[in-house]
Amino acid sequence: MSRVPLLLLSLVVFHLAPASSAAAATIEATVRFTRAAPPAVLLWLPGTGPWKPAAEVGPTTVEQLAETFTPTIAVVPPGGKVAFHNGDPQQHNVFALDATLGIDTDLGLGAPDSTLMLTTSWPAGSVVKHGCKIHPQMQLWIAVLDTPFYAVSDIPDGTLEAVMRVTYPSSTTAVPLTSVTLWAPRCETLTVKIPSELTPIIRKGKTVGTLSVRELP
Ligand SMILES: [Cu+2]
């Protein structure tokens, strides 16, 4: 072997070494709906959990303000709690009805500046819609995830796209990062490989958008 190929080989090895010892991986997912996008989407990295115990994580706070739940998608660990704080001058309610998961919840009425506490009971990977019986337009979704590595993005009215990034500390665990899961209201839950291009998002049997996933350099 001549000296030039040897030199090239050593340059290649030198170039690859830092990448394999990187401390974190950042996954970027781009969601594009063709029309009528949902209000928010959720992305997570399956198999990268668990969280700290639910008691240490503490409740996730959802604000009831201007007759809107904020955030639109709340995320908790298995058995996690959601604290609903009423910031409006009128009463709000929190309820959920999900026949598939056997959920029939009603937290009653919350007075202005009071907090209603919900303890989640459904399995990880499931998302349950909640509403207010007084204001039917108020809705949010509560996701129980078995990993803290997730991202939520709102999709503002009039827009069709969301870009989400999740950074995963790849050096602290042996779990190989191979796929991501996308959840969107009323759409089929979608798990795709990293990277992947333009996977259809399905709602009621129809393609309503696409998901593309890549790992950032
Ligand atoms: Cu209400």
- Span 106-130, pLDDT tens digits: 999 999 999 999 999 999 999 999 9
8 A C-beta contact, residue 209 and residue 192: no
96, 140: one domain: yes
39, 67: one domain: no
Domain end: 95, 126, 146, which one? 146
Question: Ligand 1 center to residue 51 CA distance, Å?
Answer: 31
37, 120: one domain: no
61, 141: one domain: yes
Residue 32 is assigned to a structural domain of this protein:
yes
Count of structural domains, the chain: 2
Question: Ligand 1 center to residue 129 CA distance, Å?
Answer: 15
Q: What is the DSSP string of 168-201?
A: E-GGG------EEEEE-TTSPPEEEESSEEEEEE
Question: Ligand 1 center to residue 97 CA distance, Å?
Answer: 16
56, 142: one domain: yes
43, 71: one domain: no
Question: Ligand 1 center to residue 148 CA distance, Å?
Answer: 29
Q: Please give the distance of CA 170 from its chain centroid, rounded to a whole number.
A: 19
Question: Ligand 1 center to residue 94 CA distance, Å?
Answer: 8
Question: Ligand 1 center to residue 57 CA distance, Å?
Answer: 27
Question: Ligand 1 center to residue 155 CA distance, Å?
Answer: 22
Residue 11 is assigned to a structural domain of this protein:
no
Residue 13 is assigned to a structural domain of this protein:
no
pLDDT(17) > 70: no
Average confidence (pLDDT) over 34-57: 88
Residue 153 is assigned to a structural domain of this protein:
yes
- As to burial, measured by CB atoms within 10 angstroms (0-12 exposed, 13-18 middle, 19+ buried), residue 19 is exposed
**pTM, rounded to two decimals:** 0.86
**Can you give the pLDDT at residue 217?**
84
78, 161: one domain: no
127, 186: one domain: no
89, 108: one domain: yes
The pLDDT tens digits for 48-81 are 888 887 678 889 999 999 999 999 999 999 999 9
Question: Ligand 1 center to residue 86 CA distance, Å?
Answer: 9
Question: Ligand 1 center to residue 60 CA distance, Å?
Answer: 19
pLDDT(15) > 60: no
Question: Ligand 1 center to residue 43 CA distance, Å?
Answer: 27
Could you tell me the residue range of the domain that residue 115 belongs to? 52-146
Residue 83 is assigned to a structural domain of this protein:
yes
| Average model confidence (pLDDT) across the chain | 88
